[in-house]
Structure 1
Amino acid sequence: MNIGNIYKFSPECCIDKKLSITFINPYNFKLSALDKDYLNVLKQFDCVYIDGILLQKMANYLYKKNYKRYSFDGNSLAPKFFSEAKERSLSVSFVGSRNGVASRAADIINNKYNNIVKNSFSGYFKSEEEKNEVIRSLNLSEMIVIGMGAPDQDEFAIKVKNKYPDKLVITCGGYFDQIVDGQNEAYYPKLINDFNLRFAYRVYKEPKRILSRYLFDYLFFYKWALNELFNKRMQ
């Protein structure tokens, strides 16, 4: 898991420095291991945080670190970043998910944070020209939140950051859908989040999709983790 910029900056520094931020979980961990082009995309981010309690614990055990788990959602970094945007009068744009989802998520966030989200766009582009038009429309925003899932959101985020190096660019996975689904900034109930039972809650909420991800998409990570643990025991 040698990405280079894992935890290079604290989340607080990211706001001040207008950095590019993404997150790695067992799914895009697999993608980064199997696809060198995608790994190179991740290496272009100013900061990569671990999102996933198992991945966090494995990284801390193997590399003798004290990494914390972060994600851009209502139970982790999003409230802090949105609060800072409100306090500093920063304009925010949402890009991602199906048509209409980002705009509905923006309405919910704006009700709490005094209309900080000025623009919202679907993450499904019909053409390269439409994608470029959305990027051009982001020129007035100071914080850009992108939720398309890996690897698309990371590739798009780097493209945006390269065009606008003075902007804060953050990926958020399926956060827009979570906001709309729960009609609330925070997707996970407090006790679920406090006891690290987010995986169980997601299985309860989206059994078909999430079970498939945990059983099949994460299989590469499980195998890697077992192999690393075995090698460490043999040393």
Structure 2
Amino acid sequence: MEKSIVEKFPQSKTNFIKQLKEGKPLLITYINNYSYLHFRKQSELFGKFDVITSDGIIFRLLLLLFYNKKTPRISPDFSSYFKELFLNIDKNRQSIFVWGADDIALNLAIVNIKTRYPNISIVRYQNGYLSKEEEKLEMRKIAKLKPNFLFVGMGTPKQEEILLGVKQEGWNGVGITCGAFISQIATNLNYYPSIINTLNLRWLYRVYKEPKLISRYLFLYPKAIIIFTYDYFRK
């Protein structure tokens, strides 16, 4: 991992949130063990982002062990910084655009956001199942609507490509990739029970809620650790 990429990881969650509240144009994404497998093949894609956060305890330990980089866990959900971020957006009556998930999950998620944060202006929301041509049209709509915040949850590297595409259309706001966040908040904004957060067992809870992720945590996560180590010593 290049030094320029490592430097994009925040050293302080407090300073990161302060930077977000300033409202200046920012593109933010994250890396965890799973997305690292994509990152290593498209590092130039991630290099175009202003901030990269560590989504998970294991990945931040890898950064500390191999790069002596101290960075907090900053995940795109309400168990991390989204609670404070959405409170701030609501307080300032700012606008958001939400893009991702299927129609059912997306509509339920929007209802939950509106219920908890009534002062947030949701200018538009769109499912994540569009053709290339439809995506391009959607990017242009976002540029015209000029939302303060854009949340894109489509998985890596699709969500990163979408955010960069919107920026190329002339939009200047705060863009945040959020993975499965939209689907997770379809039933409850607080996806993880408090005890699960306290014990740092979010991965186990996700496997319980989404059994299809078993192979990711049992096989792909260990694989990513091995590849991360290999990539470091290969330099």
Q: TM-score range by the shorter chain?
A: 0.7 to 0.9
Deviation, 1:184, is: 1.6
Q: Alignment partner for residue 29 of structure 1, among 24, 36, 56?
A: 36
**CA distance in structure 2 between the aligned counterparts of 1:187 and 1:176, rounded to whole angstroms:** 10
Q: Could you say what the CA RMSD is over the residues aligned between the two structures, in angstroms?
A: 2.0
Question: Corresponding residue for 2:124?
Answer: 119
Q: Alignment partner for residue 201 of structure 1, among 205, 216, 224?
A: 205
Deviation, 1:106, is: 1.1
Instruction: State whether structure 2 residue 179 is matched by structure 1 residue 173.
Output: yes
Question: Corresponding residue for 1:188?
Answer: 192
**CA distance in structure 1 between the aligned counterparts of 2:77 and 2:111, rounded to whole angstroms:** 16
Give CA-to-partner distance per residue, 1:40-94, whole Å, 9 cap, x none.
Answer: 1110011000101111112112222321011111111111121111111111110
Instruction: State whether structure 2 residue 152 is matched by structure 1 residue 149.
Output: no
**CA distance in structure 1 between the aligned counterparts of 2:104 and 2:133, rounded to whole angstroms:** 20
**CA distance in structure 1 between the aligned counterparts of 2:70 and 2:9, rounded to whole angstroms:** 12
The answer to whether the Cα contact below 8 Å between 2:90 and 2:117 also exists between their aligned partners in 1 is: yes
One-letter amino acid of the structure 1 residue matched with residue 128 of structure 2: G
Q: Alignment partner for residue 167 of structure 2, among 156, 161, 164?
A: 161
Deviation, 1:115, is: 4.9
Question: Corresponding residue for 1:214?
Answer: 217
After TM superposition, the score normalised by the length of structure 2 is 0.87
The answer to whether the Cα contact below 8 Å between 2:10 and 2:72 also exists between their aligned partners in 1 is: no
Q: Alignment partner for residue 62 of structure 2, among 48, 58, 61?
A: 58
**CA distance in structure 1 between the aligned counterparts of 2:136 and 2:231, rounded to whole angstroms:** 42
Deviation, 1:215, is: 2.3
Give CA-to-partner distance per residue, 1:141-185, whole Å, 9 cap, x none.
Answer: 1111000001100110111123244211001000111011xx221
SS at match of 1:11: helix
Q: Alignment partner for residue 88 of structure 1, among 89, 92, 95?
A: 92
Q: Alignment partner for residue 227 of structure 2, among 197, 218, 224?
A: 224
What stretches of structure 2 of length at least 5 have no aligned partner? Answer: none
What stretches of structure 1 of length at least 5 have no aligned partner? Answer: none
Give runs of aligned pairs for residues 65-144 of structure 1, distance below 5 A: 65-116=69-120, 117-125=122-130, 127-138=131-142, 139-140=144-145, 141-144=147-150
Which stretch shifts more, 77-86 or 98-107? 98-107
The answer to whether the Cα contact below 8 Å between 2:76 and 2:82 also exists between their aligned partners in 1 is: yes
**CA distance in structure 2 between the aligned counterparts of 1:134 and 1:168, rounded to whole angstroms:** 17
Identity rate of aligned residues, in percent? 32
The answer to whether the Cα contact below 8 Å between 2:91 and 2:119 also exists between their aligned partners in 1 is: no
SS at match of 1:150: coil
The answer to whether the Cα contact below 8 Å between 1:144 and 1:167 also exists between their aligned partners in 2 is: yes
Deviation, 1:132, is: 1.7
One-letter amino acid of the structure 2 residue matched with residue 77 of structure 1: Y
**CA distance in structure 2 between the aligned counterparts of 1:144 and 1:225, rounded to whole angstroms:** 30
SS at match of 2:78: coil
One-letter amino acid of the structure 2 residue matched with residue 86 of structure 1: D
The answer to whether the Cα contact below 8 Å between 1:99 and 1:124 also exists between their aligned partners in 2 is: no
One-letter amino acid of the structure 2 residue matched with residue 30 of structure 1: L
Q: Alignment partner for residue 19 of structure 2, among 13, 18, 35?
A: 13
SS at match of 1:123: coil
**CA distance in structure 2 between the aligned counterparts of 1:70 and 1:176, rounded to whole angstroms:** 17
